[in-house]
Chains A and B, each alone.
Chain A
Amino acid sequence: MNLMANLIPVAAEIFLLVMVCFILIVDLLLAKSSKIYTYLLVQLTLLGCSLITVGTHENGVYYAFHGMYVDDLMSDVLKMLSYLGISMMLVYSRQYLMLRGLFTGEFLVLALFSLLGMNVMISANHFLTLYLGLELLSLSLYAMVALQRDSAIATEAAMKYFVLGALASGLLLYGMSMLYGATGSLELGVISHALQQGVQNKPLLAFGLVFILSGLAFKLGVVPFHMWVPDVYHGAPTAMTMLIGSVPKLAAFAFTARILVEGLQSLVTDWSGMLIVLAIASMALGNLSAIAQTNLKRMFAYSTITHMGFMLLGFISGGIEGYGSAMFYTVVYMIMSLGAFGMIMMLSRAGFEADTLNDFKGLNQRSPWLAFMMMLLMLSMAGIPPTVGFYAKFSVLNAIVQTGHTWLAVVAVMFSLIGAFYYLRIIKLMYFDAPESHVPIVVESDTGLLITLNGAGVLILGLMPGTLMSICAVSVQQSLLLH
């Protein structure tokens, strides 16, 4: 295998890493007041990465580095979306972080490192690279949560996130080592092949699967491995919460898809049964607990748990429709959560966090446009047409009904109905209650434009979901099911 054949598929990651190191050094030389140049450099890096990813895209599935790395349509699509997500996250959080003195070079560099981790996970074809990508992502996120050192609650959140994340990594590694023992390989394709041939040591395989699923569930944050989610979302500075709650879900989707579908497809009857339990428990607990929250970040944390449970339904139904709808759901969730956390940051100002329900009271009188955008986002999260959230839920439910799990679809719809309550409550507070504060809302022009695009995107994608849906379906078909 020659060198270029290995390096060309990884070009975007190499460029990203080189740029991170470059930014790390440039940032040292810049004065504290001119961090905006670092920020612009980061945005340029993201643009460069996306150009390289598009430029090096080729049809088909390519492996590099002795089967450690895979370059296919799904990885390219997810990578493009992750660049977009990180870029949006940075635009939304710039002003918020500046006011809190957190807009430092370290923040930007760690954000790029987390992106690198996600990209490694997205195109990993080997348990080693999956695990290393995951650790790269997680370590950057732990550090980012702890960056606000003077806040006791942020430090506590970082500590919880770190300890539980390490536990989850341990479970995952334990499971991987058991699968290695049972199949004799860490490469997903070889594992899949070995499983089709039949494995003698069934208990070892079963334990490996359970440990891997537990680790995955921890990272996805689904019940009963969800304990860290509310505390971390609540405790972390909102910009970091936004990062944790949005883009890494794409990587988590890829991670789950690669392990369960590419590697362990032969065990589908075993893991889909476990996923059913996880999905139902997440939808039940997430929706019911979210109703009781008065803190918006905590509420969105429980909403994440619910959404991830719903996404798992796509994996349970399987096939192009199932996996495609799960991917679609994840992408849509990323867009919605970016907008929702962005809204919290726009209403916040120096020394004040707009993260309780009361802060949204009467938003329509203070800023009708922002209230309208928030309404679109909440309608989408609740899954009400014509927003894209409806179509995402619809496609997952459609896939699950087609596989004959009608009862599961009924349960999912019931819990979504319960969940609609707390999204609609925000709309009610914004439009029908009197505002508690009359401090004018200052919106920077770039964040204002972005939230408008975000809200419009939710609406337009809802009216015309066909393109994104077909991209998801094709990439799932090419990447997961054709080999």
Chain B
Amino acid sequence: MSFFDVVFYLFAVITTLAATGVIVARNPVHAALFLVLAFCSAAGIWMLLEAEFLAITLVLVYVGAVMVLFLFVVMMLDINLLKLREGFWRWFPFGAGLAGLMVFEMIWVLGSRQTSEVSVAVTHAADYSNTKELGRLLYTQYVYPFELAAVILLVAMVAAIALTLRRRTGVKTQNISEQVKARKADRLRIVKMKSETKV
């Protein structure tokens, strides 16, 4: 067993245990943290396959941004855990049956594959940059789908703003620009009065 295998199995075991932790943890915050662990060890496996860019993106995007957001939401929402757990045993046979079917299918599909088809990961020289290669592909061969993905993000932005932006009337908010623009002459009126004379 080479060093490579040892590291692979280490990460694989951590990923599997963490993934199990996500679904069995009672506390949703713990579940989210387990998911972070699963992502980190999956990134480790990708690193072993020389997919540095994917590994770093996984950590930056999923662990750094998505999961933090997730944790915020979980902490801010008041989730009634007892209610979520209701009906677990009632649906258990259905879920177990479905899971069994999936396992059977996977064994069938993977088992039928000839061993020669399983290819070994290609190794590259140390100065090979896979970020550069990905970038080159994205902007040449895959430029059309890449731009389409950008359009989809634009749609998501338009949709999110259209669905959540509410201009409520009658709300007492300060209009800063109006305040700054105000001059003394607009607010203050100096009234000249004759001084009173004694009767």
Residues of A within 8 A of B (CB): 10, 17, 21, 24, 64-66, 68-69, 104, 106, 109-110, 113, 116, 120, 126, 128-129, 132-133, 135-136, 139-140, 142-143, 146-147, 149, 178, 200-204, 207
What sequence of 0s and 1s flags, for each residue 106-139 of chain B, a beta carbon within 8 Å of any chain A beta carbon?
0011001110010000000000000000000000
Contact residues in B for A66 (Cβ distance below 8 Å): 141-142
| B141 adjacent to A139 (CB under 8 Å) | no
| A113 adjacent to B144 (CB under 8 Å) | no
| B145 adjacent to A17 (CB under 8 Å) | no
Contact residues in B for A143 (Cβ distance below 8 Å): 155, 158-159, 162-163
Is residue B60 contacting chain A, with contact meaning CB distance below 8 A? no
Set A24, A110, A128: member contacting B142, Cβ < 8 A: A128
Contact residues in A for B155 (Cβ distance below 8 Å): 110, 113, 136, 139-140, 143
Tell me the complex Cα distance, A207–B113, Å: 14
Q: How many A-B residue pairs have CB under 8 A?
A: 79
Determine chain A's interface SS by DSSP, over half rule.
helix
| B162 adjacent to A203 (CB under 8 Å) | no
Which 3 A-B pairs rank lowest in CB-CB distance, beginning with the nearest?
A143-B159, A106-B162, A65-B144
Tell me the complex Cα distance, A314–B108, Å: 34
Indicate the member of B105, B149, B158 with the most A CB atoms within 10 Å.
B158
Q: Which residue of A lies closest to B116 (CB)?
A: A200
Within 8 A of A (CB), among B57-107: 105
Q: Which residue of B lies closest to A204 (CB)?
A: B109
B42 → chain A closest CB, angstroms: 17
| A201 adjacent to B159 (CB under 8 Å) | no
Set B112, B144, B154, B158: member contacting A201, Cβ < 8 A: B112
| B159 adjacent to A110 (CB under 8 Å) | yes
Tell me the complex Cα distance, A194–B146, Å: 26
| A128 adjacent to B158 (CB under 8 Å) | no
A469 → chain B closest CB, angstroms: 33
Contact residues in B for A200 (Cβ distance below 8 Å): 114, 117
Tell me the complex Cα distance, A128–B162, Å: 28
Given contacts A110-B155, A128-B142, A143-B155, contact A120 B148 (CB under 8 A): yes
Given A65-B143, A201-B112, 18 new contacts (CB under 8 A): A106-B158, A106-B159, A109-B158, A110-B162, A113-B158, A129-B144, A129-B148, A132-B145, A136-B148, A139-B155, A140-B155, A140-B159, A143-B163, A147-B162, A200-B114, A200-B117, A204-B109, A204-B112
